[in-house]
Amino acid sequence: MKALAKLEPREGLWMVDAPVPEVGPDDVLIRVKKTGICGTDIHIWNWDDWAAQTVPLGLITGHEFVGEIVEVGAHVEDLAVGQRCSGEGHLIGKTSRQSRAGKFHLDPATRGIGVNEQGAFAQYLKLPAFNVVPLPDEISDDIGAILDPLGNAVHTALSFDLVGEDVLITGAGPIGIMAAAVARHVGARHVVITDVNPDRLALAGQVTDVIPVNVAEAELAETVSSLKMTQGFDVGLEMSGNQAALDQMVKAMTMGGRIAMLGIPPGKSPVDWSRIVFKAITIKGVYGREIFETWYKMIAMLQNGLDVSRVITHRFPVDQFEAGFAAMTSGESGKVVLDWTG
Ligand code: NAD
Ligand code: ZN
């Protein structure tokens, strides 16, 4: 089968001819139709320090996918050949305290497909049946291919009650933009999204009804006063991984504000802790998606009018994967989807 693997410790991915994975008794084999390119895949493409320390050479990469089950293991009873599906790419253990309490997304033994284990950038993917998420017909293959990052957005956005709240999202990357759409969908009052990239802010406005602010050019405080917010934002969703953005968010929060942090700051970033204390701000770190509550809520919202389709800006047949990665690194794209069916 065709697959995209990390063969050499330098920039790039290589199209290889790999054996179709053999499924164990508790696994299914999925014929992959479409995959999304993630920021994580860009780290692996670039072979930065994180990738070099984490990813074994030879690994098939990728973790955002949609496909169809073509084989089920001997112990798999509730899934059948022909089922359209996506799936959770975090492979969890079942013995930790967290897993035994049903908090699967907090299992410390989690391993990621396309990062630690063979991934989804391939014509066929082996996945534990436990991780499979069957898809209803209303969810297109394109959206099916980006449920993993939409799940990051949903998990972060639903960390706190947003109904009637003023929400600040820092970072209009694909996940920040999708989080803005989720915040609108669930009934936030004002949703402001910041970035320093005008293309990304323009895309945010095409995907959903948000107030974009280019913080390289404008003061966030002016937006706060023009919206007649008395104190500041009730909820912050940090989705840039940028230190300046987090500082700006802490400053723009109201007393008792709540911040969910998905963005990964570089190294040990300094934070104005006294401001966090005196404003009595709650900060929650967010990792991945809740398994499987986020998937349930995300699919239900998509069935009930949540529309993030315009966040996909580029589509390529997989043979043009280099163009796909170039689009992702250009900074002008939203999500980029590769088609494996050709
Ligand atoms: P992305 O890199 O595409 O988007 C980040 C955006 O932040 C960019 O558009 C960038 O221009 C913008 N930005 C840079 N400086 C800024 C500033 N000062 N103010 C506001 N915006 C600024 O990333 P993405 O794929 O949308 O992911 C969002 C973040 O979430 C990333 O940091 C990513 O590493 C992280 N992430 C975390 C998890 C997790 O499980 N915790 C999962 C997926 C992604
Ligand atoms: Zn991803």
Domains of the chain: 2-146+308-339 (3.90.180.10), 153-285 (3.40.50.720)
Rounded Cα distance, 149 and 181, in Å = 13
84, amino acid identity: R
Predicted confidence (pLDDT) at residue 299 exceeds the cutoff of 90: yes
pLDDT at 230 over 80: no
Report the residue among 262, 291, 313, 314 best suited for mutation to probe ligand 1: largest number of ligand atoms under 8 A from its CB. 262
Query: Which residue type occupies 48?
Result: D
- pTM exceeds 0.90 for this model: yes
Nearest residue by C-alpha to atom 38 in ligand 1: 262
User: How far away, in angstroms, is 215 Cα from ligand 2 center?
Assistant: 26
Instruction: Examine the residue annotation and report whether 185 is marked as an active-site residue of this protein.
Output: no
Q: CB within 8 A of 152, min separation 6: which ones?
A: 175, 262, 286, 288, 289
Query: Atom 17 of ligand 1 has which residue's CA nearest to it?
Result: 245
Local confidence band at 298 (pLDDT 50, 70, 90 cut-offs):
very high
Residue 190, pLDDT > 90, answer: yes
Stretch (H or E) spanning 9: none
Question: Which residue type does 43 have?
Answer: H
Tell me the C-alpha distance between 12 and 10, whole Å. Answer: 6
Q: What is the pLDDT of residue 228?
A: 86
Confidence (pLDDT) at 155: 98
Protein residue with least CA distance to atom 12, ligand 1: 171
Nearest ligand to the C-alpha of residue 332? 1
Any catalytic annotation for residue 254? no
CA-atom Rg of the chain in angstroms? 20
Q: How far apart are CA 93 and CA 88, in angstroms?
A: 13
Q: pLDDT value at position 295?
A: 98
CB of 215 closer than 8 Å to CB of 194: yes
Which ligand 1 atom sits closest to the C-alpha of 244? 18
State the alpha helices, DSSP H only, in 120-219.
141-144, 147-157, 174-185, 198-207
pLDDT for position 326 = 98
The torsion angles phi and psi of 223, rounded to 5 degrees, stand at: -65, -45
Neighbours of ion ligand 2 (CB under 5 A): 38, 64, 148-149
User: Which H or E element spans position 65?
Assistant: strand 64-72
Encoding tokens for residue 172? 């209009």
ipTM of the complex as predicted: 0.99
Pocket residues: Cβ below 6 A from ligand 1: 39, 152, 170-176, 194-197, 200, 215, 239-242, 244-245, 262-264, 286-288
